[in-house]
Amino acid sequence: MPKYEWPEKSKRAVLGRRISKSDSPDKVSGRAKYASDVKRPGQLYAKFLRCPHAHAKVVSIDVSAAERMPGVKAVKICEKKGPGSEILWALDEVVGVVAVDERTAEDALQKIVVKYEKLPHLVNEQDLAGAGDRAKPAAEQVTGDPDKAFQEAEVVIEGDYGIPVITHCCLESHGQVVEWEGDNLTVYPSTQNVSGLVGQFAQPLKIPASNVKIRMDHVGGGFGSKFSPDSWGVESAHLSKQAGGKPVKTFLERDAELFVAGVRPSHFARIKLGAKKDGTVTAWEHHSWSTGGPTGGGMAPLPYVLSVPNSRKKHTAVATNTGPQRAWRAPNHPQACWLTFAALDDMAAKLNMDSLDFYLKNIQLAGERADLYRRELLKAAELIEWKKKWHPRGDPAPGHLKRGLGLGFHTWGGRGHASEARLTINPDGSVSVDIGTQDLGVGTRTVIAMVAAETLGLPVSAIKVNIGRAPDYPVSGGSGGSTTVGGVSAATRRAGQNALEELFAKVAPALSAQPSELEAVGGKVQMRDNPAKNLPWRQATARLGVTPLVVSGKNAAAASAADGKLTDQGVGGVQMADVTVDIETGIVKMNKFVAVQDCGLIINEKTAESQVLGSMIMGVCYSLFEERVMDEVTGRPLNANMEFYKLAGIGDIGDFVVHMWKDDPEQDARGVIGLGEPPVIAPGAAIGNAVANAIGVRVPQAPFTPARVLAALEKKGGLSS
């Protein structure tokens, strides 16, 4: 068995290079086909009637007029939504209609009469006192002796902080095309979980998993919200069957996409901190609360990154009549990061300390990665010119434009998930890699090709990568938790090394060498100690005769000693923001945003940087603009659209600087670690703290809108003209 490891840095031909995504030309030109572009022969369209009320009992449903409409092919009351059922959030689907086109299906929905009995609802949780019996407190957690630590603390601060529910806002909404052939189902989904969908469709439809095929080439955003078929996917399969097995296309309307297909839980907290006069943090106490819909919301990892020796933690989940939560890029970490670093930054301000010095003073609380954070803090500070530009709270410059700096740091896991790669070397020298994974637009295809190319000593263009089919290709995990790059790269590396072992056995006699003396480099199979003795790749593969070499490689989800160092988990990362706030209007503008990010061995520096840039854009969005707005009285959503659910445009994001931590041999030696999540965690903290530094007062709740900035300034009674 080969020793599975990455080549030494000096010997890498492909790994670490900047290579554009292989599917970018297809996407830019429009040749790339997403599931929402799929049009099957005879395709029908499904639409769902949605409950307008936040909490209601279904009294009766009359679908007869819709059924009679010309062009309508099937009408079905959704599972568990019949008369007598309880609806727990507005826009939940009640009845599905399939018709010859979208307009007919929509018009048919208008003809369905559902009578509801409205029930009491709660949609907003910021005011915990108003939550009544919807608030479910969890047991208090105590570490050390917080009471004593607060008594002994020389400085104590207390503050309220919060961040609201936001939504995933996938540009390609959730949905799929389903198509029956007898009892066999083919699904063209928009998913983060190609292999996993097979069983998830089979089980509720009561068909063997072996009857399900999944087909997907591209997906237009998931961010953690696209792992399952969803109720509407299963309903669509039922509706398709009812319509005679014809293909049925279902993609959510924008309102359901935003408010039903995935939201990130809110987090609010009253936080108390104790410290010594020299800045050493000694005591932490918080009472947090959150909602992620009908089941409430769990406690974010507070305090974040830094372990305060004495702490008391209390959390209350608040059940609301709102669309249920889904994993949103680094679940609960962005909330924890913002709450923690806002409170710490307020402590630094109270101590009259430069917050960079304050964090460096407390860096040992970061545990095993303390020294890495220290070095990353210093690098980020250099890139944003912290020491030159930082000032105590409240920019002393005259005029209405105030500039400030802020920072935050983060952590994440990122070990590769279970994944299997099947690598084929054909006698003509061509190579393909099959993996039942998906490329969320982040470069997974490209990374697989790079790893295979590196391993086989071939150019990247020589590798054909096949993904997005199940069960045709070997099973690979869902793309969540930043696990994909580690999983597919380790599996591909193993498959490649396994394949070479077999190929070398066939080629060795022709070179009068032992298989163990061979290597594949620069398009040749050659003797490691005597490269002059070689066969060009195609001559080497011709030794396979007429039978292609098909070899697998597997990565296991859990690490074991025999695994080598192909993938690992645990990263840090530091972000610093430079903002300008107009104190007359409360408008915050990004000047510069610096991210310093470690992630082990970097396969493709360009796509790695893109992950960070995308995260920073999302971070600016949720820091300055994003917020779900519900009407308290009616329980109805008000901004379930792209007009008032605000996202940044190119003019709103400022200058981004990404520094990948790639020159550190210690980090490189750890192998590949996922990057999808970590860089999206700290923007709220960095930007929120920069706003406080600029205007001299904390804006306690994100997003930092003109209304909130002006309210904070008014409370302070200061700078506003």
Partner 1 sequence: MNAFEYAAPTTKEQAVGLLADRWGDAEVLAGGTDLLSLMKDYLPTPKRVVNIKDIKELQGIKYSSATGLRLGALATIEELLSNAAVKKEYPALAQAAEGVSSPQIRNAGTIGGDLCQRPRCWYFRSGLGYFPKDDGGKDLIPTGQNEYHAILGNSGPAYFVHPSSLAPALIALDAKARIFGSAGWREVRVEEFFVTPNNDGDRETVLKSNEILGEIILPPAKGIRSATYEVRQKEALDWPLAAAAVALKMSGNTVQSARVVLGHVAPVPWRSQAAEQALGGKAIDENTASEAGSAAVNGARPLSKNGYKVQLARVAAKRALLQAAQGGA
Residue ranges that bind partner 1, judged by CB under 8 A: 52, 103, 106-107, 110, 584-587, 624-625, 629-634, 636-641, 643-644, 646, 648-652, 705-707, 710-711, 720-721
Question: 295 or 720, CB closer to partner 1?
Answer: 720
Distance CA 167, CA 159 (A): 26
- Torsion sign, CA atoms 467, 473, 479, 483: negative
Q: Which is nearer to partner 1, 71 or 427 (CB)?
A: 71
Alpha-helical regions (H) of 85-167: 102-110, 146-152
Q: Which one, 53 or 313, has the nearer CB to partner 1?
A: 53
Distance CA 386, CA 267 (A): 29
Residue 720 CB, shortest distance to partner 1, in Å, is: 7
The CB-of-645 to partner 1 minimum distance in angstroms stands at 10
Q: Which of 550, 548, 549, 523 is nearest to 535 (CA)?
A: 523
The least CB distance from residue 502 to partner 1, in Å, is 55
Q: Compute the least distance from the CB of residue 639 to partner 1, in Å.
A: 6
Count of alpha carbons within 13 angstroms of residue 515, beta-carbon side: 13
Q: Give me the count of residues in the chain.
A: 721
Residue 166 or residue 485: which is nearer to partner 1 going by CB? 166
**3-class SS of residue 583:** coil
| CB nearer partner 1, residue 536 or residue 706 | 706
- H or E stretch covering 495: helix 484-507
First-to-last CA distance in the chain?
74
The Cα–Cα gap between 195 and 31 comes to 24
Distance CA 203, CA 82 (A): 22
CA distance 124 to 586: 24
Element (H, E) at 241: helix 230-242
Q: 603 vs 617, which CB is nearer to partner 1? A: 617
- Rounded CA gap, 499 and 496, in Å? 5
**Of 575, 578, 574, residue with least CA distance to 389:** 578
Q: Which is nearer to partner 1, 474 or 703 (CB)?
A: 703
Least spacing, CB of residue 221 vs partner 1, in Å: 18
Residue number, 620 or 660, with CB nearest to partner 1: 620
Q: Which is nearer to partner 1, 402 or 524 (CB)?
A: 402
Q: Tokens for 703?
A: 């997003």
Residue 631 burial (CB count, 10 A): 13
- Contact between 167 and 322 (Cβ < 8 Å): no
| Contact yes or no for 194/469 (Cβ under 8 A) | yes
What are 423's strand-pairing partners?
A: 433, 551
User: Least distance (Å) from partner 1 to the CB of residue 629?
Assistant: 5
Judged by CB, which is closer to partner 1: 302, or 621?
Answer: 621
CB 471 to partner 1: min, Å: 39
Residue 644 C-beta: closest distance to partner 1, Å: 6
Unique residue bearing structure tokens 């006698």: 427
| CB closer to partner 1, 440 vs 583 | 583
**404 or 703, CB closer to partner 1?**
703
Q: What is the dihedral of CA 290, 254, 708, 126, to 10 degrees?
A: -20
Between the alpha carbon of residue 537 and those of residues 2, 75, 452, 479, the distances in Å are 20, 59, 14, 34
Please enumerate in sequence order all residues whose Cβ is within 8 A of that of 702, keeping only pairs 6 or more positions apart, or say none.
Answer: 162, 163, 164, 338, 622, 623, 684, 688
Cα separation of 374 and 363, whole Å?
Answer: 7
State the Cα–Cα distance between residues 363 and 679, nearest whole angstrom. 19
Looking at this protein, which amino acid is placed at residue 15? L
For every residue of 504-538, DSSP letters joined together read HHHHGGGGTS-GGGEEEETTEEEETTEEEEEEEHH
Nearest CB to partner 1, comparing residues 90 and 465: 90
